[in-house]
Amino acid sequence: MKFFIDTANLNDIKEAYDLGVLDGVTTNPSLMAKEGIKGEENIRKHYKAICDIVDNNVSAEVISTDFDSMIKEGESLAQIDDKIVVKIPMIKDGVKAIKYLTQKGIRTNCTLIFSAGQALLAAKAGASYVSPFIGRLDDIGTDGLDLIEQIVGIYQNYGFETEVLAASIRHTQHLLQCAQIGADVATCPLKVITGLLNHPLTDKGLAQFLSDYKKSQEATEQAL
């Protein structure tokens, strides 16, 4: 399973990368705005800065919504770095843009996926990734994980190469359940990734080991 970090914050990206488990980054216009990144040139520079930290897979989202503008924007984003994956919303022109960009050899991530039908369309168009939003479905009383399961099953039935990128992950349980279901990728905030580290028995066990070591050292020193 690949781990992507869902942020435009460079410090968080560096921290996750330094942990040695990061396979990519997803951003969206809201996450870029949260970091105060404004204006086309600054946005492009920020994407480049992200690409300079990680090894691959940096999703950069278009803000256009018609076919001609989306493919122009997508091609321009793809020129920033080979690591860029162009993020395209699940709308009619978006499906056409995915098909076009895929044929041009540009990787795409179809975002705002909320149904298995949308995921099927995106795969047919050749998307490299689909991003079903688990947390936002949970927010409206629908089981987001059910959607992941449906998409994984459909893609397996037909051997689609599109990777299921579970998005809008809110907690470590979401991440683990996605792993159990077989999502190819999970994108999550840093705290969800580092949350996997924590267990009170690990802390207790380590404290015990260190304390026993210290006691035995002191006993050895006293015997000398």
Q: Confirm if 127 and 111 have CB atoms less than 8 A apart.
A: no
Alpha helices in the chain (DSSP H): 10-19, 29-34, 40-53, 67-78, 92-103, 116-125, 134-139, 144-158, 172-181, 190-195, 200-223
Active-site residue flag, 38: no
Min separation Cβ 223 and ligand E4P, Å: 59
Q: Confirm if 54 and 24 have CB atoms less than 8 A apart.
A: yes
**DSSP annotation of 6:** E
Min separation Cβ 41 and ligand E4P, Å: 22
Catalytic residue chosen out of the listed positions 38, 87, 214, 215: 87
Residue 135 lies near ligand E4P (rule: CB under 6 A): yes
Stretch that binds ligand E4P, among 32-40, 113-121, 130-138, 140-148 (CB under 6 A): 130-138
Spatial distance between the Cα atoms of 7 and 187, rounded to a whole number of angstroms? 9
Give the nearer residue to ligand E4P in terms of CB position, either 47 or 199. Answer: 47
Residue 57 lies near ligand E4P (rule: CB under 6 A): no
Of 108, 118, 128, 131, which one interacts with ligand E4P (CB under 6 A)? 131
Q: Confirm if 107 and 87 have CB atoms less than 8 A apart.
A: no
Q: x-or-dash pattern for ligand E4P, window 193-212, by CB under 6 A?
A: --------------------
Give the nearer residue to ligand E4P in terms of CB position, either 28 or 223. Answer: 28
Residue at 36: amino acid letter: G
Give the nearer residue to ligand E4P in terms of CB position, either 194 or 203. Answer: 194
Residue at 138: amino acid letter: D
Give the nearer residue to ligand E4P in terms of CB position, either 118 or 187. Answer: 187
The DSSP bridge partners found for residue 148 are: none
Residue at 99: amino acid letter: K
Which positions lie near ligand E4P, rule CB under 6 A?
Answer: 6, 26, 28, 111, 131, 133, 135-136, 167-168, 187
**Residues marked as catalytic:** 87
